[in-house]
Structure formats: structure tokens, C-alpha cells
Amino acid sequence: MQTTHEVHVGDARDLSLPDDSIELVVTSPPYPMIEMWDASFAAQDSRIRDALSAEEGDRAFDLMHDLLDDAWAEVARVLVPGGIAVVNVGDATRTVGDTFSQYPNHVEITRRLRGHGLSALPDIVWRKPTNSAAKFMGSGMLPPNAYPTLEHEHLLVFRNGDTRSFPPGDDARYGSAYFWEERNEWFSDLWEITGTRQSLPGEVRARSGAFPLDLPLRLVLMFSVYGDTVLDPFWGTGTTSMAALVAGRNSAGVEREPDLVGAFAERVGEAPRISEALATERLDRHREFVTERRSDGGEPGYEAEHYDFPVVTKQERSIQLRVVESVGRENTDGEEDATNRWVAQHVTM
């Protein structure tokens, strides 16, 4: 099996993609009212800079979301009927003038994407690891002026219309099945994910606010099948593309900064190692699950067609994990609209 992975240097508000061409979007945009992204927002709209300078937090917040809104319109345009979009975003806490406030980014993004015709599905709270021993902000031990520490982000899930349809017994869909015990873990509304599976230079991570690879990887496995294309319109360091690559999906990305795209060329070489580790881990964990289930007196009901173990449900019988055998780069020369393209070869595990 072969997959392709294209990254365009450009703007998320103008995707160079056809209508109804993307099965899954997994992205994490700049978070309005988080200071590390102030300069980026202000560079694109001087009114944001003016609002921040005037300490008008609510106006700056609205203008930042206005800027993102054109990108959400593009996401709705390119999603296939039944396609899923997952937006990872955190709320912001900030003192503007003399007033401390939380700016609810997850509420505003939900409102905007629903306004573009997408349906909001149950979302997931991602509880992030923290090294802080202090679980409050504000006045220490004295009530009532302390605030809870913000330690979570939101994975907002949307769908374009009704559910996707597939031919009966579709090979790509059944081969992409997840294990019964994975479903029970993954489809919870509270996640605690700490692993990265990849290394990022400190300066790259700081500039992008990159999320750990395990997060988009799980979403790709949950909401797409082999042969699908996964889009990240706020590509950053390419974590979503890496997740799609190791999971045997195609990917597309758009990123404003050419040097971030260039840095991906070195990291993509990790894909064979990561994909093999992921597949081995999933198979080993399932074998452990089977052993534990049998020790508790339960026997899985079906035999897997491609592996030497049983599975719990009929839908899992055709599951077949794939790993990356090799990745090659193809480039098209150009200026700001340059396209970087990688082609990966996959084999079954």
C-alpha cells in the first residue's frame, strides 16, 4: 500500500483543495488570547494589535476568532459528507488591564463551526500533564479570590451531515478496525495522554505549541480508514501528518512558515520506527487483554483472520495493522506556494 503526504506553504483561509475531498480534519489552531500567538494574529489584522494595545480583551478575542472563521469555512467546504473534524483548543486565562478573565475558545469555535453547517458531536477533555505543585492561581490560602488551575484542553468533534456510508464488508473499513478494548478506552470523554513518540527541537516546539503524537494518532485511528486523507490546515510541526503516515492514511497540510515545513524532512525519517513500535504495542496489548480476559473466565468469541489470537467481536476479525516500510520525498520548486510531498510504502504487520 502507498500513501501520499503533501504540505503546502500557504494560508488556512484559502485551501488549495477541491470540495468534498477530505475525510478527516485533525488540527490545533493558534489559541486566541494566548500571548505566544498575539504577534501572529496582530500581523494579519491591525485591529487586533490596536485592541490589545487599548486593553480591550473582549474585542481582541472576537477579532481573533473572526480571523480564524474563514479557515473554518474552508474546513466545512473540503470535508466529504459524513467527514469528521476534530479541533484541539485550549481556553485562555489572562489579565487585560486590571481584570483577570478566562476566554472560552472552545465555546467560540463550536459556535463558528456550527455556523458553517457542521454538527457538534460529544467532545473530549484532554487533561494535560503539569509539573506545577500549585493547583490554584490567585490569593493562596485565603478565600475567595483564587482560581482553579487550567489543566485541560478540548478536542471538539464535528461531523459534516449524516454518517459516512461504505459498501457492505468494505475491506478498508474492516481492516482499519480497532480492538474492542481500545474502543472502550478511546471513546471516553476524558483523556490523559502524555507520550510523544517523537522528538522536537525546543525552538520548533515553542513556536508551534505542538501536541503529542499519540493524540492525533488516536484520533486518526478512531475516525478514518485506510485510504482516507487527513488534513491539518494549521500544520505547524506536522504532527498530524506524521500520525496519518504511521497509521497508513494519506495526509495534507497547510502551514504559513516555510522553515517549519523544512524541519519535517528530518523528522519524517522516524516514521518506520514509530509505526512498527505502534503496531507491536497494539498487538502485544491485545494479547495481554486476551490473557487477562481468559483468567477472569471470559473467552473472546471470534478468531482473527490475520493474527494468532482471538477477538471479542465479529467486526474485529479482519483487522490488519500496517507499518511504514520506507518514505521518500518529492519536491516541487516554487516560492511561497511551494508544495512538499512525501510518498510512503506500507506493508502489513
CATH of the domain at 155: 3.40.50.150
The average pLDDT across 198-223 equals 74
**316 domain-assigned:** no
The average pLDDT across 270-275 equals 96
Mean residue pLDDT of the chain comes to: 92
pLDDT at 138: 67
pLDDT at 175: 98
**234 domain-assigned:** yes
Pseudo-torsion of CA 122, 124, 125, 131, nearest 10°?
180
Instruction: State pLDDT tens for residues 13-51.
Output: 999 999 999 999 999 999 999 999 999 999 999 999 999
pLDDT > 90? residue 293: yes
pLDDT at 338: 67
- Indicate the number of domains in the chain: 1
Where does residue 222 rank: exposed (0-12), middle (13-18), buried (19+ CB within 10 A)? Answer: middle
**115 domain-assigned:** yes
Instruction: State pLDDT tens for residues 65-116.
Output: 999 999 999 999 999 999 999 999 999 999 999 999 999 999 999 999 999 9
**321 domain-assigned:** no
pLDDT at 216: 97
**DSSP secondary structure, 157-181, as one string:** EEESSS-----TT-HHHHHT---HH
Where does residue 336 rank: exposed (0-12), middle (13-18), buried (19+ CB within 10 A)? Answer: exposed
**306 domain-assigned:** no
pTM of the model: 0.93
pLDDT > 80? residue 323: yes
pLDDT at 263: 82
pLDDT at 38: 98
Where does residue 339 rank: exposed (0-12), middle (13-18), buried (19+ CB within 10 A)? Answer: middle
| Full domain range(s) for residue 44 | 7-272
The average pLDDT across 231-252 equals 97
* Percent of the chain clearing pLDDT 70 (strictly above): 90
**31 domain-assigned:** yes
**315 domain-assigned:** no
**289 domain-assigned:** no
